[in-house]
Structure 1
Amino acid sequence: MDHLIEQVLTKIRQREHQSFEVDYLDKTLPPDDQVFTDFANVSINNVTINLLIDLYRVDTANDWVHWLLQGISFQVNFTFNISQYMVNFIPKKMLLNWPVKFVVDKGRPVVTFNRKTVSRSDVAALPDKAVLVVTTAQHLTTEATEVSRLKQITIQIRTDEDCIWQK
């Protein structure tokens, strides 16, 4: 019995460090659910606006949404690789609360804060070249703006918390 437990623990430890990358194609089926037992980190390339909308609305008729929700239940760390033009199509609630990470150009994380004032320390904690989404109701301190310039952080300003398609 101890040998079996040790095998399971070894598999779990291996899974934590394993990554899987897949290209999203609208007309194809997602990979098999077996991916979730073998890989704790899944990157999806070519994520589209339609997939984001269906996922946000939890449209399980979409096979990819069903697959993604299954992965979330397996505690998979999802990374959605998107284009910089898609940032305005991501609901702020999704950036704040969903267990997925959005990345522009495969290296620039998209982040936001849920506070009125974004401080120097907030921006300093971000990775270099990140994309920071703020609304006009939020205020960046002068120091935060300076740090964002030094760290080459792109500041994406929205008129409100909703994204374009939620209007």
Structure 2
Amino acid sequence: MAKMDHIVEQVLAKIRQREHQSYEVDYSSEESVPDKSVYTDYANVTIDNVTIPLLANIYRLNLNDPWTKWVLQGISFQVNFTFQISSSMVNFIPKKMLLDWPVSFVVDQKRSVTAFYQKAISRSDLAILPDKSIIVVTPNQKITDEAKQISQLKQMIIQMRSDGNCIWHE
């Protein structure tokens, strides 16, 4: 029994260690994907230089793309993915991906991109977000006056989207 307890303790120690470990990789369609061992060693993975074609492939679940397969497999291992994008790419992120996918989007390595389900976005919704966040809203969503004040204090960018979809997803 003591041997089994020792093994269990080792596994739990590995899991606790993994939770605090981060891995960063540059995306390149020319390069091969990182090894699958990344999933077992790192709970947090940042992909730099994410492109619009990569986003489209992941969103459409294009399993012919090796990076899409790698990201989807990582999600099944409960890896927390952060996609580093440029500010001009925000309109290319499908709102469903912002709301429902277990990935985060960050612009210029510091501004998180967020969207909300509810029709009224309140002060408390924005207060918990990091300063300088980018908030994607649609015309059918209202930002309360208090939320507008908080967004100014926290130097947030409110990005109005003409509809719920991104530019390429109709």
Task: Give the shorter-chain TM-score range.
Answer: over 0.9
Distance in 2 between the 1:128 and 1:12 partners? 31
Q: Which whole-Å deviations, capped at 9, do the CAs of 1:143-162 have from their partners, x for residues lacking one? A: 11111001000111001100
2:121 pairs with 1:129: no
* CA distance, structure 2, for counterparts of residue 122 and residue 36 of structure 1: 32
Question: Equivalent of 2:105, from 80, 102, 105?
Answer: 102
The letter of the residue matching 1:123 is: L
Query: Paired residue for 2:75?
Result: 72
**Cα deviation, residue 71, structure 1:** 0.2
Matched, 1:45 2:48: yes
Partners in 2 of 1:158 and 1:129 — Cα distance?
Answer: 18
Aligned to 1:146: 149
State how 1:53-64 maps to structure 2 within 5 Å. Answer: 53-64=56-67
Paired position in structure 2 for 1:157? 160
Structure 1 residue 5: deviation in Å?
1.1
**In the alignment, residue 98 of structure 1 is paired with which amino acid?**
W
> 2:87 aligns to what?
84
**Separation of aligned partners in 2, 1:85 and 1:109:** 14
Q: Which amino acid aligns with 2:72?
A: L
In the alignment, which of 10, 18, 21 is matched to residue 21 of structure 2? 18
2:116 aligned residue = 113
> Could you tell me which amino acid in structure 1 is paired with residue 169 of structure 2?
Q
Indicate yes or no: 2:33 matched with 1:30.
yes
- In the comparison of the two structures, how many residue pairs are matched? 167
Aligned-pair Cα RMSD in Å? 0.7
Q: Which segments of structure 1 move beyond 4 Å, counting only runs of 4 or more?
A: none
Code of the residue aligned with 2:96 in structure 1: it is K
Paired amino acid for 1:62: D
SS in structure 2 opposite 1:106? coil
Shift of 1:87: 0.3
For 1:41 and 1:16, the matched residues in 2 are separated by: 7
**Cα separation, 1, equivalents of 2:119 and 2:11:** 46
Q: Once the two structures are superposed, what CA deviation does each residue of 1:109-165 show, in whole Å capped at 9, x if it has no partner?
A: 100101111111111121110000001111111111111001000111001100000
AA aligned opposite 1:24: Y
Code of the residue aligned with 1:115 in structure 2: it is Q
Q: CA deviation at 1:21?
A: 0.2
| Identity value in percent | 61
